[in-house]
């Protein structure tokens, strides 16, 4: 295939994904379900002081959050704030897991959990306004 054909095919494919994304938020829910799973395994790892597993879960959540931040490019202040808190707490979780500091990791996990709750609280408030 010629480069132009390849580029056009790529643009078309991406466009379709984009539209599907807008139509219903299934892909977002898929990522979020993964996020929930990883946060649950992070809690398990914390309880067992399994720092390798904790890092793996935190890294997986970091990747999901990057995708999410890109997919949902909203400027809503509260949403952005919660996303930042989530990412900060997530990075702290990774740092403390590396340092094998269970207390620091537990605190970061608590902050992370609060950002889940608060971001969702914000989303519900927005829905009510509609």
Pick the binder of ligand HEC from 43, 56, 107, 116 (CB under 6 A): 116
C-beta separation of 72 from 28 below 8 A: yes
Closest CA to 90 of 123, 31, 29, 42: 42
Using CB under 6 A as the binding rule, whether residue 74 contacts ligand HEC is answered as: no
Using CB under 6 A as the binding rule, whether residue 57 contacts ligand HEC is answered as: no
Task: Between 106 and 116, name the residue whose CB sits nearer to ligand HEC.
Answer: 116
Task: Between 11 and 126, name the residue whose CB sits nearer to ligand HEC.
Answer: 126
Distance (Å) of CA 28 to CA 9, 32, 44, 124 = 24, 6, 24, 16
Task: Between 25 and 52, name the residue whose CB sits nearer to ligand HEC.
Answer: 25
Using CB under 6 A as the binding rule, whether residue 33 contacts ligand HEC is answered as: yes
Rounded Cα–Cα distance for residues 102 and 93 (Å)? 9
Using CB under 6 A as the binding rule, whether residue 39 contacts ligand HEC is answered as: yes
Rounded Cα–Cα distance for residues 37 and 17 (Å)? 24
What minimum distance in Å lies between the beta carbon of 99 and ligand HEC?
21
Q: Site for ligand HEC (CB under 6 A): how many residues?
A: 19
């Amino acid at each position: 295939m010629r480069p132009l054909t390849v580029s056009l095919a790529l643009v078309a494919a991406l466009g379709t994904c984009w539209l599907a994304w807008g139509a219903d938020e299934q892909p977002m829910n898929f990522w979020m379900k993964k996020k929930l799973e990883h946060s649950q395994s992070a809690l398990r790892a914390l309880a067992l002081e399994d720092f390798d597993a904790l890092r793996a879960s935190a890294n997986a959540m970091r990747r999901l959050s990057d995708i999410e931040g890109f997919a949902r490019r909203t400027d809503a202040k509260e949403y952005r704030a919660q996303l930042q808190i989530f990412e900060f707490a997530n990075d702290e979780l990774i740092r403390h897991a590396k340092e094998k500091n269970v207390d620091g990791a537990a605190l970061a996990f608590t902050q992370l959990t609060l950002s889940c709750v608060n971001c969702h609280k914000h989303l519900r408030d927005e829905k009510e306004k509609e």
